[in-house]
Amino acid sequence: MSAPHYVPMSPTALVRTYESPPRRDRSWVATRPGDLGGDGQPEGDRLGVPGPDQGYAYRLVRLFAGKVFTAEGEHDDDVVAGVLAVAMKRCAIFGRAPVVHDLSVAFAVWGFLDDQPDAELVRTRAAMFEEVSNPHHYPELRRIADAVPESTLRLTPAEVQRRNKADWRSLLTLEG
């Protein structure tokens, strides 16, 4: 480690220099519990869709302050949690970090950007979004993201808004 010039040092002292680490004969293999093996990211029911830098969506959601319309009884924290789950699913499908269009699609598909959404859509989303900001309601949060199929998530924000006004059910796959 280097030292400042004013630190006294014996002129005959051996100065340590860089040494390469020992060479390994074999290549590295994922053996630790947290390492992903050859199969990559696990897939299955309720595992979500991982993607890079998804936390940036929390910064982007601030851009929608004052533009989101909620009905009586809907809580902002629950709306944000559900919309972020959908937005993160969209950006992961494209294999990139979140952008504002991911949130635009997520808000629009559930009618939060419409000041006069369909009454049945409001009842449906109010029931689905209730308490999803609570971490104990993860299955309900996943149900919101799973209700938006990939075909909807591949649409542009303008197309989602247009189709939401025409027939919001065509954008979702709701159970029962």
- Could you tell me the mean pLDDT of each successive run of 10 residues in the chain, 176 residues long? 77 79 80 72 71 89 96 96 96 92 98 96 96 95 95 97 96 86
Q: What pLDDT does residue 123 have?
A: 96
Q: What pLDDT does residue 38 have?
A: 67
Residue type at position 30: A
Residue 2 falls within a domain, yes or no? no
Q: What pLDDT does residue 176 have?
A: 56
- Please report, for residues 28, 94, 104, the alpha-carbon distance to residue 112 in angstroms, rounded to integers and kept in the order given: 49, 23, 10
Q: What pLDDT does residue 168 have?
A: 96
Q: What pLDDT does residue 164 have?
A: 95
Residue 91 falls within a domain, yes or no? yes
**DSSP single-letter state for residue 169:** G
| Residue whose pair of structure tokens reads 């308490």 in the numeric block | 131
Q: What pLDDT does residue 13 have?
A: 79
Residue 25 falls within a domain, yes or no? no
Residue 33 falls within a domain, yes or no? no
Residue 129 falls within a domain, yes or no? yes
* Cβ atoms within 10 Å, residue 130: 16
Q: In whole angstroms, give the CA distance from residue 95 to residue 41.
A: 13
- Which positions ≥6 away from 76 have C-beta within 8 Å? 68, 70
Residue 31 falls within a domain, yes or no? no
Q: What pLDDT does residue 50 have?
A: 73
Residue 108 falls within a domain, yes or no? yes
> What's the structural domain count of the chain?
1
As a three-state string, the secondary structure of 133-152 is CCHHHHHHHHHHHHCCCHHH
Residue 7 falls within a domain, yes or no? no
Domain range spanning residue 92?
56-171
